């Protein structure tokens, strides 16, 4: 059902070393809604926390409405945040998160994404760190899902349209 696109990437495409210049009492916090592969490659002292958000539900396109299903627990006032994301598509979710963290008092918000799909962007937002740019196709695997399926594939693949036709 999913055509293979690529293999699991190696270590992060860009190091977080430049972030060491940030003043921080306990390092930048990394916020994520996906498995934090990039956090494993992080070379600086940091806190890791999770936030769960959704704008797709069981569809292949965003509803545009972002819902927080699990919020952060720590105070981020004055902290430098790195959001680690699986895919930057329409930009709705990351635009929302960046604004959300800034209103909670973050000193800065940087974005790290495994996959970037700039052709689908509806919000003006760019990632600071990008693994790969992908074409305008629905991708699954390696943590990415369609209706909670295919997340466990050990590679990233393109979901065949017949799987979701009729949406």
Q: How far apart are CA 142 and CA 132, in angstroms?
A: 14
Q: Is 75 a catalytic residue?
A: no
Residue 84 buriedness (CB in 10 A; 0-12 / 13-18 / 19+): buried
Q: How far apart are CA 67 and CA 135, in angstroms?
A: 26
pLDDT digits (tens, 9 = 90+) for 39-67: 677 777 888 888 888 775 555 555 678 88
Q: Among residues 47, 71, 86, 89, which one is catalytic?
A: 89
62-109: pLDDT as tens digits: 567 888 989 999 999 999 999 988 899 999 989 999 999 999 999 999
In tens, the pLDDT along 8-24 reads 343 333 333 444 433 33
**Among residues 107, 145, 112, which one has the least CA distance to residue 131?**
112
- pTM of the predicted structure, to 2 decimals: 0.71
CB 48 within 8 A of CB 74: no
Q: pLDDT digits over 114-144, tens only?
A: 899 999 999 999 999 998 999 999 899 888 8
- Fill in the DSSP letter of residue 60: S
To the nearest 10°, report the CA torsion of 94, 1, 38, 48: 70
Q: Check residue 145 and give its pLDDT.
A: 87
Structure tokens at 6: 């690529």
């Amino acid at each position: 059902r999913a055509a293979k696109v690529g293999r699991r990437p190696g270590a992060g495409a860009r190091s977080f070393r430049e972030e060491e210049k940030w003043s921080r009492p306990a390092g930048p916090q990394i916020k994520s809604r996906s498995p934090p592969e990039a956090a494993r490659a992080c070379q600086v002292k940091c806190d890791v926390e999770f936030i769960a958000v959704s704008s797709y539900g069981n569809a292949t396109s965003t509803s545009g409405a972002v819902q927080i299903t699990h919020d952060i627990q720590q105070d981020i006032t004055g902290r430098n945040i790195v959001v680690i994301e699986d895919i930057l598509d329409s930009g709705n979710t990351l635009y929302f998160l960046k604004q959300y963290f800034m209103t909670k008092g973050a000193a800065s918000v940087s974005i790290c994404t495994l996959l970037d799909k700039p052709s689908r962007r509806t919000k003006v937002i760019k990632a600071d760190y990008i693994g790969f740019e992908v074409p305008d196709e629905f991708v699954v695997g390696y943590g990415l899902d369609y209706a909670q399926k295919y997340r466990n594939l050990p590679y990233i693949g393109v979901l065949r349209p017949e799987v979701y036709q009729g949406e």
